[in-house]
Amino acid sequence: MTLENDPLVARMQGFGTTVFAEMTALAIRTGAINLGQGFPDTDGPATMLETAAAAIMGGANQYPPGPGLPELREAVAAQRADRYGLTYDPAEEILVTVGATEAIAAAILALVETGEEVVVFEPYYDSYAAIIALAGGVRRPVTLRPDGGRFTFDPEELRAAVTPRTRVLLLNSPHNPTGTVFTREELEVVADVCREHDLIAVTDEVYEYLTYDGPAAHVPLATLPGMRERTVAISSAGKTFSVTGWKIGWTTAPPRFVRAVQTVKQFVTFTASAPYQRAVAYALREEGKWAEDLRVALRAKRDRLSDGLAAAGLTTFRPQGTYFAQVDVRPLGFGDGREFVTALHERAGIVAIPTQVFYDSDAGDPYVRFAFCKRDEVIDEAVERLHRL
Residues in a beta bridge with 138: 117
- Residue 151 vs 334, nearer CB to ligand PLP: 151
CA distance 232 to 261: 9
Please list every residue from 188 through 247 that binds ligand PLP, using CB under 6 A. Answer: 204, 206, 236, 238-239, 244, 247
For the beta sheet containing 231-236, the strands, ordered from the edge strand earlier in sequence to the opposite edge, are 94-97, 249-252, 231-236, 200-204, 166-172, 117-122, 138-143
Closest separation between CB of residue 280 and ligand PLP, Å? 11
Closest separation between CB of residue 179 and ligand PLP, Å? 11
Tell whether residue 125 is a contact of ligand PLP (CB under 6 A). Answer: yes
- Residue 64 vs 249, nearer CB to ligand PLP: 249
Supply the DSSP string of 89-139, one letter for each residue. Answer: -TTTSEEEESHHHHHHHHHHHHH--TT-EEEEEES--HHHHHHHHHTT-EE
Q: Omega of the bond prior to 177 within 30 degrees of 0, cis?
A: yes
Closest separation between CB of residue 175 and ligand PLP, Å? 7
Tell whether residue 99 is a contact of ligand PLP (CB under 6 A). Answer: yes
Closest separation between CB of residue 216 and ligand PLP, Å? 20
- Residue 93 vs 204, nearer CB to ligand PLP: 204
DSSP H or E run through 187: helix 184-196
Residue 9 CB coordination number (10 Å): 9
Question: How many residues interact with ligand PLP (rule CB under 6 A)?
Answer: 14
- Residue 172 vs 273, nearer CB to ligand PLP: 172
Closest separation between CB of residue 246 and ligand PLP, Å? 8
- Residue 105 vs 386, nearer CB to ligand PLP: 105
Q: Residue by residue, what is the 3-state secondary structure of 321-344?
A: ECCEEEEECHHHCCCCHHHHHHHH
Is the separation of the CB atoms in 213 and 150 below 8 Å? no
| Shortest-Cβ-distance residue relative to ligand PLP | 99
- Amino acid sitting at position 311: A
- Residue 68 vs 385, nearer CB to ligand PLP: 68
Longest dimension (CA), the chain: 59
| Binding residue (CB under 6 A) for ligand PLP from 34, 152, 172, 355 | 172
Positions in the binding site for ligand PLP (CB under 6 A): 99-101, 125, 172, 176, 204, 206, 236, 238-239, 244, 247, 249
